[in-house]
């Protein structure tokens, strides 16, 4: 039985999008075809991702969005994403192997149990599995952002600094997904209220993913209603309203979630499930309050 906790990261180098760390304990799962995610086709990665999630003894994903990377730096973000991923794993393990040469858990109580190994994603199956679920999760997330921010080509380059991406930034500017602490983008550090508000939704999305949610929609709109975020966790669909206040002095964002607003959210949730033909699903309404520059989570509230 493989009770090694394998850890690998995806998204260290892109100009845009989150950093994602995968953590997997395979247990008694015997999954054929595991290797470095970069050596697999998208079709094969997607298929293995489903099998890993179904058969592994435990797994976790740690997310750090672009705004947080800009705030704390990439080195700290790598440590934070690793900690967040490990916190999602609820099964026992006897060893931790991290791909690469840096022990990102060195400052935690688990640091003494870590082995770092270059090319571990090729050599250790649990690390291979971690690399696969992290890449699939991040690629799927960036595909969703491609719909939200058309013209950038996120579905193709997933945030890396390709010629197409550079040209799109020159023409369209930056989005809340972009890492403005990265040298090629520093000149764009001049946020507007709208861009910070968009960033707040980005941070809220990343937070939900650290809690085990899978994003279904961002800014879903019809002529009748709209929903900031739709996610799913444990077969429950969550409908999320994100409220942002630039300063806490302006009052808590959740004060704006009145009983009338809650009725609107309920209508939007019912409209969404009907339009998507989701029958018999459990639904929850969530409000998230964000404040500050960069935006930070202030309060998370499940509504009645």
Model pLDDT for residues 135-191, shown as the tens digit of each residue: 999 999 999 999 889 999 999 999 999 999 999 998 888 999 999 999 999 888 865
DSSP state at residue 178? B
**CA–CA dist 104, 20 (Å, integer):** 13
Checking if the pLDDT of 70 tops 60, the result is: yes
18-31 confidence digits (pLDDT tens):
999 999 999 999 99
Grade residue 194 by pLDDT with cuts at 50, 70 and 90: low
Q: Mean pLDDT highest for which of 7-11, 192-196, 264-268?
A: 7-11
Quote the pLDDT of residue 73. Answer: 95
Could you tell me if 230 and 205 are in contact, meaning their C-beta atoms sit under 8 angstroms apart? no
**CA–CA dist 117, 132 (Å, integer):** 17
Checking if the pLDDT of 255 tops 80, the result is: no
Percentage of residues in the chain having pLDDT higher than 70: 93
Quote the pLDDT of residue 165. Answer: 96
Q: What number is the average pLDDT over the span 54-74? A: 96
Beta bridge partners of 217: 230
User: Which residue did the predictor score with more confidence, 14 or 235?
Assistant: 14
Locate CATH 3.40.1350.10 in the chain. 191-303
Could you tell me if 8 and 127 are in contact, meaning their C-beta atoms sit under 8 angstroms apart? yes
Among all chains, which residue has been given the structure tokens 């994403």? Answer: 81
Residue 144's closest CA among 187, 84, 201, 69? 201
Checking if the pLDDT of 192 tops 60, the result is: no
State the CATH architecture for 2-145.
2-Layer Sandwich (3.30)
**CA–CA dist 209, 190 (Å, integer):** 28
**Tokens encoding 122:** 């090729």
**CATH class label, 191-303:** alpha beta
Checking if the pLDDT of 257 tops 80, the result is: no
Checking if the pLDDT of 41 tops 60, the result is: yes
Checking if the pLDDT of 117 tops 80, the result is: yes
42 — phi, psi (to 5°)?
Answer: -60, -40
60 — phi, psi (to 5°)?
Answer: -150, 160
User: Backbone dihedral region of 100: left (phi > 0), alpha (psi from -120 to 50 degrees) or beta?
Assistant: left
Quote the pLDDT of residue 250. Answer: 44
Quote the pLDDT of residue 1. Answer: 76
Could you tell me if 295 and 199 are in contact, meaning their C-beta atoms sit under 8 angstroms apart? yes
Helix (H, G, I), strand (E, B) or coil at 186: helix
Helix (H, G, I), strand (E, B) or coil at 265: helix
Grade residue 108 by pLDDT with cuts at 50, 70 and 90: very high
**CA–CA dist 302, 287 (Å, integer):** 7
Is 157 exposed, middle or buried, given 0-12, 13-18 or 19+ CB atoms closer than 10 A? Answer: buried
Q: What number is the average pLDDT over the span 64-78? A: 95
Quote the pLDDT of residue 129. Answer: 98
Locate CATH 3.30.420.10 in the chain. 2-145
Give the least confident one: 46-50, 108-112, 247-251.
Answer: 247-251
**CA–CA dist 127, 123 (Å, integer):** 8
Grade residue 249 by pLDDT with cuts at 50, 70 and 90: very low
Q: What number is the average pLDDT over the span 37-54? A: 96
Is 221 exposed, middle or buried, given 0-12, 13-18 or 19+ CB atoms closer than 10 A? Answer: exposed
Grade residue 243 by pLDDT with cuts at 50, 70 and 90: confident
Q: What number is the average pLDDT over the span 116-123? A: 96
């Amino acid at each position: 039985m493989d009770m090694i906790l394998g850890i690998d990261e995806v998204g260290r180098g892109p100009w845009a999008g989150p950093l994602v760390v995968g953590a997997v304990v395979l247990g008694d799962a015997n999954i054929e075809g595991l290797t470095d995610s970069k050596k697999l086709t998208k079709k094969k990665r997607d298929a293995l991702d489903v099998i890993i999630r179904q058969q592994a003894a435990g797994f976790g994903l740690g997310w750090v969005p672009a705004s947080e990377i800009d705030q704390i730096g990439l080195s700290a973000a790598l440590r934070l994403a690793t900690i967040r991923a490990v916190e999602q794993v609820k099964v026992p393990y006897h060893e931790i192997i991290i791909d690469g040469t840096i022990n990102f858990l060195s400052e935690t109580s688990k640091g003494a149990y870590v082995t770092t190994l270059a090319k571990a994603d090729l050599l250790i199956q649990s690390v291979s599995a971690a690399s696969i679920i992290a890449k699939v999760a991040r690629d799927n997330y960036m595909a969703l952002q491609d719909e939200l921010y058309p013209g950038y080509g996120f579905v193709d380059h997933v945030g890396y600094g390709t010629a197409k991406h550079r040209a799109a930034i020159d023409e369209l500017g930056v989005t809340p997904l972009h890492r403005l602490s990265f040298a090629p983008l520093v000149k764009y550090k001049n946020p507007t209220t709208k861009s910070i508000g968009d960033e707040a939704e980005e941070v809220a999305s990343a937070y939900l993913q650290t809690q085990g949610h899978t994003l279904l929609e961002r800014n879903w709109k019809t002529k009748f209603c709209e929903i900031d975020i739709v996610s799913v966790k444990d077969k429950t669909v969550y409908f999320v309203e994100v409220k942002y206040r630039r300063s806490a002095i302006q009052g808590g964002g959740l004060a704006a979630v009145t009983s009338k607003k809650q009725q609107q959210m309920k209508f939007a949730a019912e409209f969404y499930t009907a339009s998507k033909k989701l029958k018999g699903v459990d639904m929850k309404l969530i409000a998230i309050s964000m404040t500050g520059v960069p935006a930070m989570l202030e309060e998370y509230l499940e509504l009645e």
